Each structure stands twice: as C-alpha cells, then as structure tokens.
Amino acid sequence: MVRRPDGMSVFEFAVLSGLRAAQLNRGCTPRVPPSAKTAVTAQHEVAARQIVASAAAASSDPVE
C-alpha cells in the first residue's frame, strides 16, 4: 500500500495517480524506480511528490 502525502486529499491522489498511470502506459519515462504495475509506479511518483497538479488543471475557471 502506498501512503499518500500529507496535505493531499484522497481524491487528488487518486486522480493524479490515474492520469500519471495513463501517461506511463503511453510510454513516458518513470521518475522513480518502476514497479511491475504502472498504477503502482504512478502512485509512488505522486507519493514522492515527483508529480504535482498544474495550476491550469487546478483552476476552477471554465475553459472556453
């Protein structure tokens, strides 16, 4: 089990991990030592704060 970082909600951790896992499946280079499963590698990256939400993604303003 991967511990999420302090100050990060469960929802944010799950969303970031899922988006990063999709990137890893498309062939992006892992930023931490890879695991057997891409989802676990993504969780480790988010837990290590190697992956963070961008300001544009975190904005609540609608995109036109």
Q: What are the extents of the domains in the chain?
A: 10-58
CB burial readout 9-21, b (16+ within 10 A) else e: eeebbeebbeebb
- pLDDT value for 58: 55
Instruction: State the average pLDDT over residues 32-58.
Output: 89
Instruction: State the average pLDDT over residues 8-36.
Output: 95
Q: Is 52 helix (H, G, I), strand (E, B) or coil?
A: coil
Is residue 34 predicted with pLDDT exceeding 80? yes
pTM: 0.82
53 pLDDT tier (thresholds 50, 70, 90): confident
Instruction: State the average pLDDT over residues 27-33.
Output: 96
- C-alpha dihedral (9, 15, 43, 22), degrees to nearest 10: -170
Residues 6+ positions from 34 with CB-CB distance below 8 Å:
41
Is residue 63 predicted with pLDDT exceeding 80? no
- pLDDT value for 11: 95
